[in-house]
Structure 1
Amino acid sequence: MPYWNRSAGADHVFVASHDFGACFHPMEDVAVADGIPEFLKKSILLQTFGVHGPHVCQEAEHVVIPPHVPPEVALELPEPEKARRDIFAFFRGKMEVHPKNISGRFYSKKVRTELLHHYGRNSKFYLKRKRYDDYRSEMARSLFCLCPLGWAPWSPRLVESVLLGCVPVIIADDIRLPFPSVLRWQDISLQVAEKDVASLETVLDHVVATNLSAIQKNLWDPVKRKALVFNRPLQEGDATWQVLRELEALLDRSQRSRVGSSRRCFIGVVKRLIFRWFTGD
């Protein structure tokens, strides 16, 4: 592997869309124990996983990216404040009534179980445990779309909610969201602490009474929406464009550090290749 061996992988880039990025295991404790495979630690990772603070699954140089959602999801939708939204709060997904203890850990840290316990019989909350292919039509009818953690803190629901004009309610402590230099997440979403699930209805009622219309207006900002979508061909300001900006920031940091010239050159090459791939040039 001459191309790999010349830099021990430092001039390679990987997309790691697994629950915990380059830690390839769905359960956090096992992912943490395994860590990032040694051969990946010098490479650049584009990964959907990100948390604030130290975590072994983000020890390699990385960029947090949004999960892929087809761009056509957002087509022909009325603006959020004009849409018929007859569902107050929506969630469809795995919710265990009696969560299993798996190696000392519980799925979703029991957050989804608490949602079901507190709001399963509340008519304002549309909570469903079974799969449904047309679930996005339900999101498009909802004011709030709940985005609780599973094993990992992130899920495609986050991007789907934004594109469908449904206010994302993120229940995942310490989650690190993509492209914060472009997206002011506090303007287009709500974050509720895992310990505050029992107060969720009160929180959402307060938002409805105060600033829901402002959040909905922000959700329809084309700049914010585009930044979460991987278009092909690439469009200025879209998710691929934002990845290139993040790689440029890595290049700038490399130029100010002791990173070798081969690494700096590599980041520049990656940017050019991604640009050519998504523009078709």
Structure 2
Amino acid sequence: MMKTFKIWTYKEGDIPLVHNGPMRYVYSVEGDFIEEMERTGNPMAANHPDEAHAFFIPISITNIVYYLYSPTEAHNFNKRMQAIFKDYIAIIAKKYPYWNRSNGADHFYVSCHDWGPHVSKGNHKVFSNLIRVLCNANQSEGFVPRRDVSMSEINGPSNNIPNVIKGESPYNRSILAFFAGKVRGAIRVKLFKHWGNDEDDDIQVHNHLPKGQNYTEFLSRSKYCICPSGFEVASSRLTDAIYTGCVPVIIKDHYVLPYGDVLDWSRFSVQVPVNKIQDLKKILQEIPFSRYLEMQKRILEVQHHFKLNFPAKRFDVFHMILHSVWLRRLDVRLTE
């Protein structure tokens, strides 16, 4: 793929809504991807659109929300956001032949914002073929795995490059399972109902960590890290766990796991149905230690696939995203 796949990034549009995006916090992968695609020297960037196999639409949904959202116009914001996106498509479709020859099937955009899926819902006929690369990969809200790409959410720190560590040895991890976060959404309500107390040292579920306690240290000392949905299915806790060598316990409905075309999540994570949350401790304790060791070893082996680098390095998260786009692009037949 890296030797042959070429992507053209459209030049139209102005900062900050286009060619720019968040570089920190939970939406950082959106801005980092735009930055990498437009970086001078990116080997996968096409020199001319005629050479391209796929076309990147460098709109930042997060920046549209940040700069244009107003609580007084909240009821109408979805339509406004969709109109901005549709206008951009109209410009490139009029100026170039590429959108029309495939009806957008070799075009893609990248968004980690919760509202990322909504921009393409304004006109189903126009956007039915467009590849959407989303953190919020929820099949119940219209995510289509054969067309769309599930992307990992990454909580980027102020220096923009999250640290990836091994954490404690699997033999020294004293906490069976850990979660810390706000009570957002029905799944977390259920999680806190059953496990949100200080009575069980094995399953530690915190709304707020005790003063002076370090989140990363808790992850590093835990065998399993609980990754429930919040208001939406996407969460950076999945990558938080992987970055610290902690086996993710995924508790989500209708979620399409990132890069599932090539990664077998069953080999390095545990999926617990929402209706089994009350049995969480029993489920984890019944996993043989030898099985846990295998999963933890594989977590360390797949870490580099979720790592953010700038510039990008082979097999990192940037290339995992593009590989997923490439697989979907292979099914597209162009009409000249």
Q: CA 1:60–1:40 in 2, change beyond 3 Å: closer, same or farther?
A: farther
1:112 aligns with 2:202: no
Among 70, 74, 89, the alignment partner of 2:177 is: 89
1:15 to 86, 110, 122: 110
- Distance in 2 of aligned mates of 1:219 and 1:225: 6
* Matched ranges for 1:28-107 at <5 A: 36-38=121-123, 41-52=128-139, 55-58=141-144, 61-70=147-156, 71-75=161-165, 77-78=166-167, 80-81=169-170, 84-95=172-183, 107=184
Q: Contact 2:308/2:317 (CA < 8 Å) preserved in 1? A: yes
The one-letter code sitting in structure 1 at the alignment partner of 2:305 is A
Name the counterpart of 1:160. 240
Matched AA of 2:335: G
Q: TM-score, normalised by structure 2?
A: 0.61
The number of residues matched between the two structures is 231
Q: Which amino acid aligns with 1:63?
A: V
Alignment of 1:1-281 (within 5 A): 2-6=91-95, 7=99, 10=104, 12-19=107-114, 21-23=116-118, 36-38=121-123, 41-52=128-139, 55-58=141-144, 61-70=147-156, 71-75=161-165, 77-78=166-167, 80-81=169-170, 84-95=172-183, 107-109=184-186, 111-119=187-195, 120=197, 121-130=199-208, 134-209=214-289, 211-221=291-301, 224-255=302-333, 259-261=334-336
Across the aligned residues of Structure 1 and Structure 2, the Cα RMSD in angstroms comes to 2.8
Distance, in Å, in 2 between the alignment partners of 1:65 and 1:260 is: 29
Structure 1 residues 136-194: Cα deviation after superposition (integer angstroms, max 9, x where no partner): 22111111111111121221100110110111000112311111132110011000000
The separation in 2 between residues aligned to 1:48 and 1:200, in whole angstroms, is: 25
Taking only the aligned residue pairs, the percentage that are identical comes to 23
Query: 2:137 aligns to what SS in structure 1?
Result: coil
- The structure-2 alpha-carbon separation of the partners of 1:234 and 1:78, relative to structure 1 and needing over 3 Å to count, comes to same
TM-superposed CA distance for 1:86, in Å, is 2.4
Residue 113 of structure 1: CA displacement?
Answer: 2.3
Of stretches 127-136 and 235-244 in structure 1, the one that deviates more from structure 2 is: 127-136
- Deviation track 1:122-149 (CA, whole Å, cap 9, x = no partner) reads 2222211126894222111111111111
Q: CA deviation at 1:13?
A: 3.0
One-letter identity of the residue aligned with 1:227: H
Q: Which runs of 4+ in 1 moved over 6 A?
A: none
Alpha-carbon distance change, 57 to 179 in structure 1, aligned in 2, over 3 angstroms: closer
SS in structure 1 of the partner of residue 109 of structure 2: strand
Does the CA-based 8 Å contact 1:41-1:59 persist in structure 2?
A: no
Q: Secondary structure at the match of 1:212?
A: helix
> 2-side partners of 1:134 and 1:23: how far apart?
36
Shift of 1:4: 4.0
Shift of 1:61: 4.1
| Unaligned segments of structure 1, at least 5 residues | 25-34, 96-106, 262-281
Deviations 1:28-57 (A, max 9, x none): xxxxxxx723375553321112245x6435
Give 1:21's aligned amino acid.
Answer: G
CA shift, 1:198, in A, is: 0.9
Alpha-carbon distance in 2 for matches of 1:60, 1:206: 35
* Counterpart-to-counterpart distance in 2, 1:86 and 1:59: 38
SS in 2 for 1:23: helix
CA distance 1:199–1:2, change in 2 (3 Å): closer
Q: Please, which moves more after superposition, 208-217 or 168-177? A: 208-217
Deviates more, 1:62-71 or 1:240-249: 62-71
TM (norm. structure 1) is: 0.71
Q: Partners in 2 of 1:169 and 1:23 — Cα distance?
A: 28
Shift of 1:204: 0.8
**1:45–1:60 contact (8 Å) kept in structure 2:** no
Q: What CA distance in whole angstroms lies between the structure 2 residues aligned with 1:22 and 1:155?
A: 15
